[in-house]
Homo-oligomer: A and B are copies of this chain.
Amino acid sequence: MEEMTLNRELLKKDAPIGVFDSGVGGLTVMREIMRQIPNEKIIYFGDTARVPYGGKSQDTVTRYSEQIVRFLKTFQIKTIVVACNTASAYALDILEKASDVPIIGVVRPGAKVAAEVTGNGRIGVIATEATISSGIYTKYIQELNQNVTIYGKACPLFVPLVEEGLLEDPVTDEIARRYLTELIDIDIDTLILGCTHYPLIRSTLGKIMGKNVTLVNPAYETARELKEMLTELDLLQEKPPVLGSNQYQFYVSDKAEKFVHFANSIIKYGILSAKSINIEEY
């Protein structure tokens, strides 16, 4: 946050928080925010027309993220959460430099906890190809703790398996076993779930890794860090929003129906609708 020039005048306590992701995965982050700071208004954007980001390049992911930030700013938000590991890995630095609103990503909070909890100094990171090849988890963790080694493993099939609903399934078990074998062999004691979809197969991952490996869920850590930051900036909303004030709003770049269905399976809130917008216009 050092690099940002915050325009404190513009930041209002009762303004909403903007949360975005390439699609539905970021809802696992939103869910944690809803649990930990239940009085906040949230505008969620899922880039469902261009999902997934995980196999795409830094230039493309950054351009998409910049468009989304411009869209979210039309709501006079008080802060932005980049609820996507790939966008956090590739675009957060650039977004931060250009923003007059505080922005937090999901990578740094997860990295911080992993650096703290590891006992043997061997940390595994599973994520999309883009997040792994960015090397961002290694960078952040080693800034905090130089006595650790980080092992990254891209797991490109996890997102489609989750989206197909195969959360507890022999096929997901088999694929997970293949991806995780080398991390088990290396004897890691901490595993970062470096993609917002992965907490949805947490039980499968935990079963394969065994009970001696701590699973770090960046969604949880991000919500915690967001709460701390809002408290420090005196921007935390203490009172619940007034009735009928539309506390949670959802926007997507593709059609809304499919999103609403999946969203309701993640967030037990009863999402009635999402609005579809053309993100390329921002």
Contacts and interface: CB of A to CB of B under 8 A. Distances in A.
Interface of A: 48-50, 55-57, 59-60, 63, 156-157, 159-161, 163-164, 170-171, 174-175, 253-255, 258, 278, 280
Contacts of A163: 55, 156
Copies in the complex: 2
A255 B164 contact: no
A128 to B, nearest CB: 12
Contact of A160 (B50, B156, B278): B156
Contacts of A159: 160
A154 to B, nearest CB: 10
15 contacts: A49-B60, A55-B163, A55-B258, A56-B255, A57-B255, A59-B254, A59-B255, A60-B253, A63-B278, A157-B160, A157-B161, A159-B160, A171-B171, A171-B174, A280-B280
A254 B157 contact: no
Given A49-B50, A50-B49, A164-B156, A255 B60 contact: yes
Contact of A175 (B49, B50, B60, B171): B171
Nearest to A160: B160
A159 B160 CA distance: 9
